[in-house]
């Protein structure tokens, strides 16, 4: 919940110029609902795409305050984030609700960034893989694997300044890849699995060097142009 419409325009005006030569990565920005049309106008004709931070699972009706997939498309979005840890934590979104949202978004043609992760208590009690397995199976139930990006965001590392060590990130991503193979077979190798947990300019290079880390879901570090562009232009190391 950051950036007004003027702030979004100003941010993108500066960011777009710096990102013009970043042609070897896919860049997606996800401003608040109120700034989506302004962002879509700003990034039109550039190498940057627009995403919503959430979506509702019905097309229309008596659902005050909610935003449908059609409305998001109308705002110029190609992507939507679903199941973010903050939606799960603060708004009590269940795997069943998230599954309905993924289905609605996919049916409308939106590409989905599907978020999963474990809490600190779950990790310390050795339940990380159990949690990831459950969230994948329930969240992606009866959903084809095309155009699904899975974001691994360990809850204990979001906004805390703590980051999963590259070895921890790789271990979780490799497990997620294996679970996706159970669902989708060899097609799972085409699914991108991105890391989201206090990604910064200081740790992005080592995270991106991991074999199964295909990108980053950037939070606080995306609010400043200089830090976000450094992440976009990460320095690739041998995988």
| Tens of pLDDT, residues 84-138 | 999 999 999 999 999 999 999 999 999 999 999 999 889 989 999 999 999 999 9
| Tens of pLDDT, residues 2-28 | 999 999 999 999 999 999 999 999 999
- Catalytic status, residue 153: yes
What are the structural domain ranges in the chain? 5-232
Could you give the residue ranges of the DSSP H alpha helices within 77-127?
85-90, 95-108, 120-124
pTM: 0.95
Q: Which of 182, 218, 222, 203 is nearest to 3 (CA)?
A: 222
Contact 90, 51 (CB under 8 A): no
| Tens of pLDDT, residues 156-208 | 887 677 778 999 999 999 999 999 999 999 889 999 999 998 899 999 999 99
Q: What is the phi/psi pair of residue 144, to 5°?
A: -70, 155
Contact 195, 155 (CB under 8 A): no
Instruction: Give CA–CA dist 112/108, Å, rounded.
Output: 11
- CATH code of 5-232, in short, is 3.20.20.70
- Catalytic status, residue 79: no
Instruction: Give the bridge partners for 111, in sequence order.
Output: 79
Residue tagged active-site, from 93, 122, 153, 173 = 153
Residue tagged active-site, from 84, 93, 118, 173 = 84
| Tens of pLDDT, residues 51-79 | 999 999 999 999 999 999 999 999 999 99
CA dihedral 91, 138, 146, 104 (to 10 degrees): -50
Q: Which of 82, 78, 147, 85 is nearest to 114 (CA)?
A: 82
Instruction: Give CA–CA dist 129/225, Å, rounded.
Output: 35
């Amino acid at each position: 919940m950051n950036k007004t419409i003027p702030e979004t325009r100003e941010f993108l005006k500066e960011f777009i110029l710096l990102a013009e030569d970043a042609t070897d990565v896919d860049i997606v920005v996800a401003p608040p609902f109120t700034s989506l049309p302004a962002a879509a106008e700003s990034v039109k004709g550039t190498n940057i795409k627009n995403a919503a931070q959430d979506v509702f699972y019905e097309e229309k009706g008596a659902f005050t305050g909610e935003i449908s997939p059609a409305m998001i498309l109308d705002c110029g979005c190609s992507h939507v984030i679903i199941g973010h840890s903050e939606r799960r934590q603060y708004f009590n979104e269940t795997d069943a609700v998230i599954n309905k949202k993924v289905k609605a978004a996919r049916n409308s043609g939106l590409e989905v960034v599907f978020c999963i992760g474990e809490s600190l208590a779950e990790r310390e009690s050795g339940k990380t893989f159990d949690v990831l397995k459950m969230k994948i199976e329930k969240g992606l139930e009866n959903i084809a694997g095309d155009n699904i990006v899975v974001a691994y965001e360990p809850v204990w590392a979001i906004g805390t300044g703590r980051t999963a060590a590259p070895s921890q990130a790789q271990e979780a991503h490799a497990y997620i890849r294996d679970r996706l193979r159970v669902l989708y077979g060899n097609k799972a190798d085409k699914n991108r699995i991105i890391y989201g947990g206090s990604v910064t300019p200081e740790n992005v290079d080592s995270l991106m060097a991991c074999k199964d880390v295909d990108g980053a879901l950037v939070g606080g570090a995306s609010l400043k142009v200089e830090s976000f562009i450094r992440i976009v232009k990460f320095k690739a190391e041998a995988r």
